[in-house]
Structure 1
Amino acid sequence: MRSFVLSTSAILLATTAFAQMPPPPLPGSPPLASQQSMTIGGTVTRFTLTPRGDLDGLILGDGTQVHVPPHLSAELAAAVKPGDAVTVSGSRSPTGALFIAASVADIASNQTVTDRGPPAPGLMPPPPPPGVPVPGALNTMVQGRVQRLLRGPAGDVDGALLDDGTVLRMPPHIAYQFATLLAPGRTVAAQGWGLNTAFGRVIDVQSVGPSLGQLREPFSPQPGASPAPAPVSSRP
């Protein structure tokens, strides 16, 4: 296990890049504007992916990231295609950086995907423990330019999209540690458990660095035994 110390300037940059969530409203106060229901529209440029390869949202042509619960992955894939125009109803995350979809209507297919709440317990497979790969994942290394940050349902950063289309995913506390490396426009290298899907490649990140020769593990990795080494798939 290797450790390193962030400089004061790096901490300041990280704090700027990863804005803190605002405090919850006081009891009886009106809801935040970002949480009020609204409808937006746009053209789908691509899907976003979870570490296990499920679809968990869209990126629209104007750059808006739309979150769709992963349990709707199959419905979303059947109803929506990149290049389609969609109308999305929902609300913005507390930080305002992410749009949380209640429904996605595809104009071309005339189909609507609606979130009616999480599935009943036991209907969806549980996620693997931190650091343990999903079936079919390979130990993968990648290096590329950060195109944009990706965010989870609460609006906190939990990954990045590279310019070659690779999706990097990691817990928010790890993304915060590597904030300066994940800044849009920066070249970043990552190692983790990679899956190639019909919608692109996603990597469950285990280490990050400025180059493949300078990969660093996070300060406090999640507890649990490391899985046995797997074949490495590397693509520049």
Structure 2
Amino acid sequence: MHWIDPDYLPEITGTVDQFLVNRHGEADGFLLTDGEEVHVPPHLSARLLRDVRPGSEVRVRGVRPRGVQMVAAVAIDTPKGRILDDGPDAREDNAAFEKAKHGPMSVQGIVKRSIHGPKGETRGVVLEDGRIIRLPPHEAERFSALLTQGAEIVAAGDGATTSFGTVVEARQIGASAETMKTVGPKKPKHGPDHKGPKQPGKKHGPKHDEKHAHAE
């Protein structure tokens, strides 16, 4: 949304409570102490981690999806200046920043709240101890009963650990270890009936050519 002028968007203010971490170990959002969720494009992770800390006062301008207590940030004003989404091509070099430790991980706990993608789709939960469980949006819908506040949840999958947060991309999930079910993979952008891009050249198939051949 880097084409939007953020000064014309609604603004929220608050104090950063914790970062939200994706499966790559990037910060792609944060929670405020008042419960508001802010989604941040992951290409801004390095800048966000450099300029913001838990306890930082921030002003966020962005877009609010329907029915969700969340803002998809376009600009974040911090004590160190404005973080502006100029698009993924403006991603800073992450080499100087902490690399996540990846490996198999299992977590168990009580759901504190759900977390979302930029369009308001549910993408996982934060547990009461701050750890994060992520899963694809279509599977989040299937397991929605497990993702409600106060629910007991167990998950196992691919983990990423950083100093600013821990996340597991769930491969199995359930209310207990005995009831865990497999989480399906992320859906492809195109379904099985997708025909792919149109090919240049001939616009008509063999039947069309055959019809014209008989006409001659």
Cα distance, 1:98 vs structure 2: 1.7
Do 1:56 and 1:67's aligned partners in 2 also have CA atoms closer than 8 Å? yes
Cα distance, 1:192 vs structure 2: 0.7
Structure holding more helix per residue: 2
Identify the match of residue 105 of structure 1 among 77, 83, 88: 77
Would you say 1:191 and 2:156 are equivalent positions?
A: yes
Cα distance, 1:95 vs structure 2: 3.8
Would you say 1:81 and 2:60 are equivalent positions?
A: no
Hey, what's the Cα distance between the residues in 2 that align with 1:156 and 1:97? 12
Identify the match of residue 200 of structure 1 among 155, 165, 189: 165
Structure 1 runs of 4+ aligned residues shifted over 6 Å read none
5 Å-filtered alignment, 1:124-135, equals: none
Would you say 1:181 and 2:151 are equivalent positions?
A: no
Would you say 1:119 and 2:89 are equivalent positions?
A: yes
More displaced, 68-77 or 194-203?
194-203
| Relative contact order, higher structure (CA 8 A, sep 6+) | 1
Hey, what's the Cα distance between the residues in 2 that align with 1:101 and 1:221? 27
Task: Mark the CA change 1:136 to 1:81 in structure 2 (over 3 Å): closer, same or farther.
Answer: closer
Hey, what's the Cα distance between the residues in 2 that align with 1:197 and 1:210? 26
Hey, what's the Cα distance between the residues in 2 that align with 1:190 and 1:117? 33
More displaced, 70-79 or 88-97?
88-97
Q: Which is higher, the Rg of structure 1 or of structure 2? A: 2
Do 2:10 and 2:61's aligned partners in 1 also have CA atoms closer than 8 Å? yes
Hey, what's the Cα distance between the residues in 1 that align with 2:54 and 2:157? 27
Hey, what's the Cα distance between the residues in 2 that align with 1:80 and 1:222? 31
User: Structure 1: any 5+ residue segments left out of the alignment?
Assistant: 1-35, 125-133, 224-236
Cα distance, 1:136 vs structure 2: 4.3
Would you say 1:165 and 2:130 are equivalent positions?
A: yes
More displaced, 187-196 or 135-144?
135-144
More displaced, 135-144 or 50-59?
135-144
Do 2:136 and 2:186's aligned partners in 1 also have CA atoms closer than 8 Å? no
Hey, what's the Cα distance between the residues in 2 that align with 1:72 and 1:94? 24
Cα distance, 1:120 vs structure 2: 6.9
CA deviation digits over 1:181-224, x for unaligned, max 9? 11110110001101110111111111101112321113x4458x
TM-score by length of 2: 0.75
- Same amino acid, percent of matched pairs: 37
CA RMSD across the alignment: 2.4
Q: Could you tell me which amino acid in structure 2 is paired with residue 206 of structure 1?
A: R
Corresponding residue number in structure 1 for 2:194: none
Task: Mark the CA change 1:213 to 1:54 in structure 2 (over 3 Å): closer, same or farther.
Answer: same
Identify the match of residue 51 of structure 1 among 3, 7, 23: 23
Identify the match of residue 142 of structure 1 among 92, 96, 107: 107
Hey, what's the Cα distance between the residues in 2 that align with 1:211 and 1:221? 21
Hey, what's the Cα distance between the residues in 2 that align with 1:57 and 1:200? 11
Q: Could you tell me which amino acid in structure 2 is paired with residue 63 of structure 1?
A: G
Look up the SS of the partner of 2:139 in the other structure: helix
TM-score by length of 1: 0.69
